[in-house]
Amino acid sequence: MQHHLCCCFATGISASSSFSSASFTSSFTKTQNQHRAGLPLTRRPSTTSLSSSSATKPRRIRRKVGLTTTAMQSSHYGVSDPDGTWNENQSNAFNSLISLAKGQRDIVQAGEACLYERSKEVEEGDIASTEVQELVSEMLRIVKGRGVGLAAPQIGVKKRIFVMEDTEEGMSDESEEERERKKRYPFKAKVVINPVLIPIGDASAAFMEGCLSVQGYRALVRRHLKVKLKGVAPDGKPIDVDLTGWPARIAQHEMDHLNGVLYVDRMEKRTLRRVDKVNAPVPTEKHDEFGACASVGETATGGSYLSNKSAIAGAEDIETLTKKSKNRRRR
């Protein structure tokens, strides 16, 4: 920091290159004598200290305005890739430290009203706002090392934003065989604002799911095997990516949160268990009242729940998407 300030100070002196060394020394001595004598300090007129061709002050003012404008335009905290991967600026590390000092919000638990209400879309003009940029940074910090996804309502903010990330460390408790079965692989953090999910085909997969807002439990949930994810990144760029397997499951889980839905609303009810019993077998016998449980793994059909309006609310043309899904199932 000291070096930075010194450089700025040196730049200011060199800009006033029209001062001669003798003139500066004389002026400085006179000012000292006035101060000791208790006389009011006077400024030399700019016409006597600067040459008539000098326009240092106006130029300096224009440069400052230019820097300020650039800073305002570069208000995003990172840069996105077309697949939604969010590359946060290293220069934002100082802001992150300040935010950590302030403390971060807690993850709300089942029972809080915000988990059962539909979140609101983020206005285009608000995406670059400090509020949204700080929210995204906070969500990424919260989910790091704790889960694979987080939606804004889970920290009490009813905005249509979610983040998702899966790491080698996060999946280290699963065997290679289990990862292959789930089509689970590591990917960098993605941030999606105003997301839209479109089912691709009707193939589905049923695997155990948990949730940071329903801590301590797991249950079998059937999801679309493949979906198209669209939305907007925090830098305002469009996102358009096809997701398969576990990443597709994460996106569907987080999208549910934005629509006021928890995984327990979609789970195979008789498979609910404590997290320490996650590997216990699911019931295989058909129950007189509840019927048979879904089998673990992939099936060619059964993922059509996303075809209804409430599940994909936020799409620009919901009716068209619904018709396409119905036609696909007929074929």
For residues 160 and 195, the answer to whether their CB atoms sit within 8 Å is: yes
DSSP summary character for residue 245: S
DSSP summary character for residue 73: H
Q: Please give the single-letter amino acid code of residue 35.
A: H
**Catalytically annotated residue among 254, 285, 298, 316:** 254
Q: What are the DSSP E strand ranges found in 233-308?
A: 238-244, 273-274, 297-299
Angle at 204 between CA 203 and CA 210, to 5 degrees: 160
- DSSP secondary structure string, 5-65? HHHHHHHHHHHTTT--HHHHHHHHHHHHHHHHHTPPP-PPPHHHHS-TT--HHHHHHHHHH
Helix (H, G, I), strand (E, B) or coil at 327: helix
Q: Is 10 exposed, middle or buried (0-12, 13-18, 19+ CB in 10 A)?
A: exposed
- Distance between CA 2 and CA 142 in Å, rounded? 34
For residues 87 and 79, the answer to whether their CB atoms sit within 8 Å is: yes
Q: What are the DSSP E strand ranges found in 117-225?
A: 149-151, 161-166, 187-199, 204-209, 217-224
- Distance between CA 81 and CA 93 in Å, rounded? 20
Which run of H or E residues covers position 80? strand 78-80
CA 150 vs CA 6, 31, 64, 186: distances in Å: 44, 63, 40, 16
254 is catalytic: yes
- The residues annotated with a catalytic role in the active site are 254
